[in-house]
Amino acid sequence: MLNPEDLSRTEIENLIDEYVVGRNAERDRRILKRRLIDGLTYERLAEEFDLSTVHVKTIVKKRQEKLFKRLG
């Protein structure tokens, strides 16, 4: 499986931009970048995006799984 630690910031950003599509894609891209690249906690992301922590965890989990699955 792809390890984000093996990629540069730019590579991760480009992959997220390419593969995170659909409803709420822009918000979800920003959340995923802040989590994977900047290392923000779920709680901090929830505050930043005015969402519940559970909602943020769900977004990250689903989007991250799809991203990694597509990359193999």
pLDDT for 1 beyond 50: no
Q: How many domains does the chain fold into?
A: 1
What is the 3 state secondary structure string of 20-53?
CCCCCHHHHHHHHHHHHCCCCCHHHHHHHHCCCH
Q: Which domain holds residue 45?
A: 6-71
Note whether residue 1 is domain-resident: no
Percent of the chain scored above 70 by pLDDT? 93
Q: From CA 65, how far away is CA 39, in angstroms rounded? A: 17
Note whether residue 63 is domain-resident: yes
Using the CB atoms, write b or e for 43-57: b if 16+ within 10 Å. Answer: eebbeebebeeeebb
CATH of the domain at 31: 1.10.10
Give the confidence band of 7 by pLDDT, cuts at 50, 70, 90: confident
